[in-house]
Structures are given as C-alpha cells and as structure tokens.
Amino acid sequence: MYSNSTSLSYPTVAQNPLLMAFSVLVIDDEEDIIRLLRYNLEKEGYSVDTAPNGIDALKKAGTNSYDLIILDIMMPGMDGYDVCKKLRTHPTHLQTPIIFLTARVGELDEILGLELGADDYIQKPISPRVLLARVKRILRRKDELVKTETVVAPEILRINGLVINRQNYTVNVEGIEKFFPKKEFELLAFLAANPGRVFSRDELLSRIWGESVQVVERTVDVHVSKIRDKLGTLSDHIETVKGVGYRYQIITSRT
C-alpha cells in the first residue's frame, strides 16, 4: 500500500502513445486502494475516474460512459453487488466489462458476482501486475467478442418463438419481453445462433467469459438453469447433452 503522504506523479496518455485512452471507473471505499489502482492504471496510459462509494459511482456512471469498471464488493451503504445490478439496468452499461474486487474467498460468492454480470473476480490483497494483465485481456477480448458475436449471431435473431435483439440486449419470449443479465443474454444468443451444435462447458466458458477469467464449470449450469426459467414453455429447446454440455435444439412439433 501507499501511504497518504506519498507524492505521486501520474503520466498522461500522451506520454504513452502506444495505448488507447481507455476509460476506467474505479469504485472502492478505501483511499489506499484507489491510489494504488489509479497510479498503476494511469502509468499504463488509461484514463481513470474514481468513486468512494456506490451512490457516487452510479451518479458518475449515469452521465459518463466507461470502457471498464473496477468495483469493490464490500462497501458501506450500497455494496458492489447492488451497484452491479443497477449498472446492468442502465443502457450505457449493459455491456461494460466489470471486474469485482473482494476480500471474500468462496465459490458461491464468485458465482453470485458472475451471475450479476461481472466479467472477472480479483481477490485482495491486489497484485497490480495481475490486475493490469486482467484489464488488458478483458479490453482486448471486448473487441474480439464483438467481432465474433457479429459472425455467429445477427443483430436480431428470430427462432422458436424467441426474438433476441443484440442492439439493445432484449429478449422477447412468445410475445413477452424478459430481462436477461449480460452473461445470460450472451449465452442464450450464442446457443440459439448455433442450433443443433453441442458446446462443452469449457468451450462456453471460454467463448462467453473468456479464457483469462477463472470460473468453474458449474457457472454455466447455473446460467442455463436461470435461462430455462425465463424461457418458460421454450425451455426444452436448450438440451443438456450428458457428459458433454449444451445445445439449442430446434423442435418443429410438440406432442
């Protein structure tokens, strides 16, 4: 950690012209964490904005767009989970990558964060080197995913009573609009765009969450279960292939 008396000089983007001026919002109630992350991110050429709590963060997110958000979970008043939920309902931040910072250790906490739409999960104490590597990978993958998803799924996909609109992240199920958090939406859109093809859990984790994100296979099962609940009578279109993974199966008739 850096002491409050340490004098820091932040380089400008112009000093590091090889990097794009990606904008990052850092949200944490600990001043030392804010200083540590700001110093290391700006040293790499990122444009950094900060907020000491969830309320201030939502105000800034409501008037600014960011390429990435780094969000602490344990904050007084409004914790990171609640902030993430609200961010994912804002049109500007439906797809903004979010990295959770946490002192918690446990699979259930990690799955909860990912279910809410987080893209990665980093435990404290923070290693600046690890954090910067994750940030670079996520921002790089953000562009790669856009290109990949454009190939495998059209902007508006109509299949089996579903209308999946990738422009505004909406899903219409047999005439009724249902809310799908970011990862649930991407998983459903990916499977529906490739009907009949079986994808292993590992492959789905890699394509939807990215190879750099450390998540367990059960994360896919949890997301598929939530998707099925929202699909209602169309839930049987997502088929479990035992010992392998999942596929979207087109059912032409029902008995």
pLDDT: which is higher, 102 or 30: 30
Name the band, by pLDDT with cuts 50, 70 and 90, for residue 202: confident
153-248 has CATH 1.10.730.10 classification: no
Mean pLDDT of the chain: 82
Average pLDDT over every residue of 56-67: 92
- Report domain extents, the chain: 13-148, 153-248
Pairing verdict, β 162-165 and 170-173 = antiparallel
Q: Which of 154, 232, 223 is nearest to 188 (CA)?
A: 223
Q: What is the DSSP string of the chain?
A: ---TT----PPPGGG-TTS---EEEEE-S-HHHHHHHHHHHHHTT-EEEEESSHHHHHHHHHH---SEEEEES--SSS-HHHHHHHHTTSGGGSS--EEEEES---HHHHHHHHHTT-SEEEESSP-HHHHHHHHHHHHHHHHHHHHHHHHHS-SEEEETTEEEETTTTEEEETTEEE---HHHHHHHHHHHHSTT--EEHHHHIIIII-TTS---THHHHHHHHHHHHHHGGGGGGEEEETTTEEEE-------
Would you say residue 47 has pLDDT above 60? yes
pLDDT attached to residue 222: 92
pLDDT attached to residue 71: 96
Name the band, by pLDDT with cuts 50, 70 and 90, for residue 154: low
Average pLDDT over every residue of 66-74: 94
pLDDT: which is higher, 116 or 170: 170
Name the band, by pLDDT with cuts 50, 70 and 90, for residue 89: confident
Asked which of 27-31, 124-128, 149-153, 161-165 is least confident by mean pLDDT, the reply is 149-153
Would you say residue 213 has pLDDT above 90? no
Contacts 24+ apart (CB under 8 A), 79-87: 79/54, 80/27, 80/54, 80/113, 81/112, 81/113, 81/116, 82/54, 83/27, 83/54, 83/57, 83/58, 84/113, 84/116, 84/117, 84/118, 85/116, 86/58, 87/58, 87/61, 87/117
Would you say residue 117 has pLDDT above 80? no
Which residue type is seen at 40?
N
CATH class of 13-148: alpha beta
Would you say residue 226 has pLDDT above 80? yes
pLDDT attached to residue 21: 67
Give the Cα separation of 207 and 203 in Å (integer).
6
pLDDT attached to residue 214: 63
pLDDT attached to residue 93: 83
